[in-house]
Amino acid sequence: MNEKILLVPKGSFRHSEGVQVIDINTLERIYKSAINEGRDIPIDFGHESFIKATAEAAGWGVLRSLEVKQDGIWGMIDWTEGAEEQVRKRMFRYLSPVFTFNPSLSVDGKLHIERLVSLGLTNQPNITAMRPLFNQHPMEEKMDELLTDLLSALDLPIETEPTAVVERVKEAVSHLKTLLPRIAELKTVLDSADDSSNENVLAMALEKIVSIKDAGAIPSPEEVESIKKELAALKEKEVADAVSSAITSGKILPSQKEWANGYAASDPEGFRTFLANSSSLVRMGEIVTGTEIRSASKPVDEIQEKINGLLGISGEVYSSYNS
């Protein structure tokens, strides 16, 4: 047990008096205070030294071994024989640091830590981020490593409760499930190989977006709206022209205009097919009103006059209705 262990973790931790803020500046302050005091840091059983003046020491934090790292202050422990045996048997598993605070420098409930007074050997550390001391079960070691990796991957504070980490992982997995089909679509659009990694596909998509943006091909929202209006007007004109042409050519009656407009607008291809397979209903341009003669009527020959006479049809009536 001569390896360095974490004595003071970096992070923010709840306390009955407020929040213990242990940032890099606090770590440096604690370290300098210990160096200035010039003595090893006492370790007792369950903070007994605050209750009994004769409390036995469990060990000492070796002053010369203290080191400030990014995640906290590390150091070696010089255990007493009895304490080392209890730690090896996992009768005690954690260290619980005891600090002094400066009330005058504590703002908004954030406690300003001045120095590390002692460490208590306990199973219920005040700071939940404290790591087990020794002899973890292999599975527990793997779980601790996994938890540390998850905290880093999810960008969560080291003091985050495991249950909160699990919830965040569930959210991340759920979000990933929604993204995977989109990535598959991107592979198709980008003509990417099926075995391309998701990272490569996203990189290709980003490169494509940047190239389009640099080329100035991405219209503004106002331009998009203007284009939509222009397309709608163009479609409306195409429908009107097609229906008008159909009426002029005698493919549909004027009374069918409203129906034809709806048909042509909803299914242009179907409307074109309908017209192509339809014959003219009337000879448009030949029908006149009153007693006017049709513009395209033919002269009545001698045989037709005899037929009209037998049927009692006058020449005027015949001329009006003959097409």
Q: pLDDT for 121-131, tens place per residue?
A: 888 777 766 77
Give the chain's mean pLDDT.
79
Q: Please report, for the chain, the start and end positions of each structural domain, with discontinuous segments joined by +.
A: 5-135, 164-214, 219-284, 285-323
Q: pLDDT for 189-225, tens place per residue?
A: 777 776 777 777 777 777 777 676 665 555 667 777 8
Q: pLDDT for 150-169, tens place per residue?
A: 777 888 886 677 788 888 88
The predicted model gives 252-258 an average pLDDT of 86
What pLDDT shows up at residue 291?
A: 46
Region of poorest pLDDT, from 11-25, 261-275, 305-319 = 305-319
3-state secondary structure the chain: CCCCEEEEECEEEEECCEEEEECHHHHHHHHHHHHHHCCCEEEEECCHHHCCCCCCEEEEECHHHCEEECCEEEECEEECHHHHHHHHCCCCCEEEEEEEECHHHCECCEECEEEEEEEEEECCCCCCCCCCCCCCCHHHHHHHHHHHHHHHHCCCCCCCCHHHHHHHHHHHHHHHHHHHHHHHHHHHHCCCCCCCCHHHHHHHHHHHHHHHHHCCCCCCHHHHHHHHHHHHHHHHHHHHHHHHHHHHCCCCCHHHHHHHHHHHHHCHHHHHHHHHCCCCCCCCCCCCCCCCCCCCCCCCCHHHHHHHHHHCCCHHHHHHHCC
- Residue 36, pLDDT above cutoff 70: yes
The predicted model gives 16-41 an average pLDDT of 91
Percent of the chain at pLDDT exceeding 70:
79
